[in-house]
């Protein structure tokens, strides 16, 4: 963050007014860029950003289920289309600009894809005909959820043309929450799975073994992202029934409750974490949602950290890169658009 002004002299300090101090304190922490849409009557949502501020997500037509996967770079949004169906979304992007996500095909079945340039390639399933992808690492290894031949949903890992079933924590149901949500460059995977009793927990998968994560004192947890230091974030339930974002420094480590910020209510999701341990996500807020950032031991509403009068309400923060740039979704003058925040 930039300083709000050059350091004053000792004499100057004595004459700083309350008004000037307030102006300094209110200076925005981020600039905001509207990533636009693919058509004049459209919406967009950003789901992932890489180190060079390339972004992936979905853009479509308002009041419809139509959407294309988009790739954003150097100020321009480009359509990557779909796998032949009416909708698709890019959920992850790596350092090479590869995008992973899911799309409907011509039969309107959801299929996982990995992009190569502007081409989306269907990466298969686990025998049950459907799959969705949520993340990938810099080696192009993809994770997500797929239906097995028995009709169960299982987390998967896709590498070198092969999809591997990661198993579950004991579940045999067909819920999409049995899914791998994040993978780091060491190939450690995190996600959420049901156990045999019907409870769901975050998990860590490493070297062929799935380990159940804990909670914040309540019954359940979900894991959404892992960084290259094996720090994990997600959502976990507390003893009083609320659900808060957390950081766990390893798969079996206790979960650290990130708390809430002024105005946020009972539910806070941690959606992404960078290698500095900065978390971004979403919280319920006065009947709607607000984006947040957690850094330096404090959780803050991102709406309080952008220029005043911008016309934006930031409702969801989905990804953060090493430089602290954040992407997500918000409303800009009433229109639902993807955004890119850059620290000042």
Could you give phi then psi for residue 20, rounded to 5 degrees? -70, -35
According to the model, what pLDDT value does residue 20 have?
35
Q: How many CA atoms lie within 13 A of 232 on its CB side?
A: 32
Q: What angle do CA 229, 233, 234 make, to 5 degrees?
A: 160
According to the model, what pLDDT value does residue 22 have?
37
Instruction: Check if the beta carbon of residue 293 is closer than 8 Å to that of residue 281.
Output: no
Q: How many CA atoms lie within 13 A of 64 on its CB side?
A: 14
According to the model, what pLDDT value does residue 4 have?
37
Distance of CA 79 to the CA centre of its chain: 20
Give the integer Cα–Cα distance in Å for 76 and 88.
19
3-state class (DSSP) for residue 255: coil
| Residues 6+ positions from 222 with CB-CB distance below 8 Å | 177, 192, 200, 201, 202, 234, 235, 236
According to the model, what pLDDT value does residue 232 have?
98
According to the model, what pLDDT value does residue 18 have?
36
End-to-end CA distance of the chain: 5
Give the integer Cα–Cα distance in Å for 115 and 45.
18
Cα–Cα distances (Å) from 30 to 7, 194, 200, 341, in that order, read 21, 38, 36, 6
Tokens of 29: 């922490």
Give the integer Cα–Cα distance in Å for 239 and 215.
9
Measured from the Cβ of residue 167, the count of other Cβ atoms closer than 10 Å reads 17
Tokens of 28: 């925005």
According to the model, what pLDDT value does residue 224 have?
98
Q: Closest by alpha carbon to 141, among 118, 166, 161?
A: 161
Question: How much is the CA Rg of the chain, to the nearest whole Å?
Answer: 21
| Residues 6+ positions from 63 with CB-CB distance below 8 Å | none
Q: Closest by alpha carbon to 225, among 119, 327, 125, 318?
A: 318
- Residues in the chain, pLDDT under 50: 1-26
DSSP 83: B
Cα–Cα distances (Å) from 220 to 93, 105, 278, in that order, read 29, 34, 23
Tokens of 260: 């809430």
Give the integer Cα–Cα distance in Å for 100 and 102.
7
Cα–Cα distances (Å) from 82 to 68, 98, 118, 328, in that order, read 6, 15, 11, 21
């Amino acid at each position: 963050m930039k300083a709000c002004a050059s350091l004053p002299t000792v004499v100057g300090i004595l004459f700083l007014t309350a008004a000037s101090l307030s102006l300094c304190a209110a200076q925005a922490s981020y600039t905001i860029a509207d990533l636009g849409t693919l058509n004049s009557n459209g919406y967009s949502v950003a789901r992932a950003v890489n180190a060079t501020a390339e972004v992936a997500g979905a853009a479509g037509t308002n009041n419809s289920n139509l959407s294309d996967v988009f790739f954003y770079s150097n100020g321009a949004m480009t359509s990557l289309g779909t796998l032949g169906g009416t909708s698709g979304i890019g959920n992850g992007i790596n350092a090479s600009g590869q995008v992973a996500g899911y799309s409907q095909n011509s039969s309107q079945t959801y299929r996982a894809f990995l992009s190569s340039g502007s081409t989306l390639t269907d990466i298969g399933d686990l025998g049950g005909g459907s799959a969705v992808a949520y993340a990938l690492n810099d080696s192009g290894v993809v994770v997500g959820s797929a239906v097995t031949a028995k009709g169960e949903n299982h987390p998967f890992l896709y590498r070198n043309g092969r999809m591997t079933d990661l198993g579950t924590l004991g579940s045999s149901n067909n819920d999409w929450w049995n899914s791998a949500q994040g993978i780091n460059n060491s190939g450690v995977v995190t996600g959420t799975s049901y156990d045999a009793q019907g409870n769901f927990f975050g998990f860590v998968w490493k070297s062929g073994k799935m380990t159940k994560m804990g909670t914040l004192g309540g019954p359940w947890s979900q894991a959404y992202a892992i960084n290259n230091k094996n720090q994990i974030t997600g959502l976990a339930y507390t003893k009083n029934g609320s659900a808060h974002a957390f950081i766990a420094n390893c798969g079996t480590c206790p979960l650290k409750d990130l708390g809430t910020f002024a105005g946020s209510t009972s539910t806070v999701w941690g959606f992404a974490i960078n290698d500095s341990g900065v978390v971004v996500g979403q919280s319920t807020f006065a009947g709607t949602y607000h984006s947040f950032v957690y850094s330096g031991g404090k959780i803050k509403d991102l709406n309080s950290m952008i220029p005043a009068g911008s016309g934006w309400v930031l409702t969801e923060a989905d990804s953060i890169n090493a430089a602290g740039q954040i992407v997500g979704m918000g409303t800009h003058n009433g229109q639902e658009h993807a955004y890119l925040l850059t620290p000042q």
